[in-house]
Amino acid sequence: MKSLPQLRQSIRHLLDERHPRDAMAAYFALYHPDAKTHLFTQPPEADIAAGYMAVSRTGMDLFRPLVTFRFPPQDMDGSVELIYQALLPETAVFIETSEVDEPLIRALFDIQVEEYLQVYMLDPSRFEPVINVLVMQANAVNDLPRFIVRSEAEQGAVVASAHLNWQSPYFAEIAVNTLPRYQRQGWGRSVVAAMVQYLLENGRTPLYVASATNTASINLAESVGFVDTGLRTWMLQGTLRPRL
Q: What gap in Å lies between CA 244 and CA 66, rounded to an integer?
A: 24
Give the tens place of pLDDT for each residue, 152-174.
767 778 889 999 999 999 999 99
Q: What gap in Å lies between CA 104 and CA 81, rounded to an integer?
A: 12
The pLDDT-based confidence of 235 (bands split at 50, 70, 90) is: very high
Using CB atoms within 10 Å of the CB of residue 136, give its burial: 0 to 12 exposed, 13 to 18 middle, 19+ buried. Answer: middle
Mean pLDDT of 112-122: 96
Give the per-residue pLDDT at 182.
80
Q: What gap in Å lies between CA 166 and CA 19, rounded to an integer?
A: 15
Cβ atoms of 11 and 29 within 8 Å: the answer is yes
Give the per-residue pLDDT at 58.
93
Q: In the Cβ-directed half-sphere of 2, how many Cα atoms lie within 13 Å? A: 20
pTM (2 d.p.): 0.94
Is a pLDDT exceeding 90 seen at residue 184?
no
Is a pLDDT exceeding 80 seen at residue 39?
yes
Strands 145-151 and 135-139: antiparallel
Mean pLDDT of 105-115: 96
Q: Map out the domains of the chain with their CATH numbers.
A: 4-116+233-240 (3.40.630.30), 124-224 (3.40.630.30)
Q: In the Cβ-directed half-sphere of 87, how many Cα atoms lie within 13 Å? A: 30
Name which of 19, 30, 80 is nearest 56 in CA terms.
30
Give the tens place of pLDDT for each residue, 212-222.
899 999 999 99
